[in-house]
Amino acid sequence: MCGWASDRATVVAVTWWGILLPESLVQSRGFAVLSAFVAINTVMYVALAVGKTLPKVYPRDWLPRRYRRGETRSIDPDAPA
């Protein structure tokens, strides 16, 4: 087959499967709303997936601890409390 015939066969196959949509549908308001929803959904899914791979964060580790001892129980008497 020559290059033109195979390109035409590809276009016909793509059109037959419904992958190419008419321009009037692509420029409609409903299609814009649907594509915006899909875009936001994709961004949120990626954010959740990235957040799931990161290690857990414990905010209490950043706060000062209240249960520090007033005096040391170490063998070394000069150790900080």
Q: With 0.85 as the threshold, say if the pTM is over it.
A: no
**Residue 14 has what pLDDT?**
60
Q: Which helix (H) or strand (E) holds 13?
A: helix 3-17
**Residue 6 has what pLDDT?**
58
Domain parsing of the chain, residue ranges = 3-57
Residues 6+ apart with CB under 8 A from 25: 31
The tens-digit pLDDT sequence of the chain (81 residues) is 455 555 565 555 565 665 677 888 889 999 999 999 999 999 999 999 999 999 888 887 787 777 766 777 777 777 665
Q: DSSP string spanning 25-66? A: HHTSHHHHHHHHHHHHHHHHHHHHHHHHHSPP--GGGTSPPS
Distance, CA of 43 to CA of 45 (rounded, Å): 5
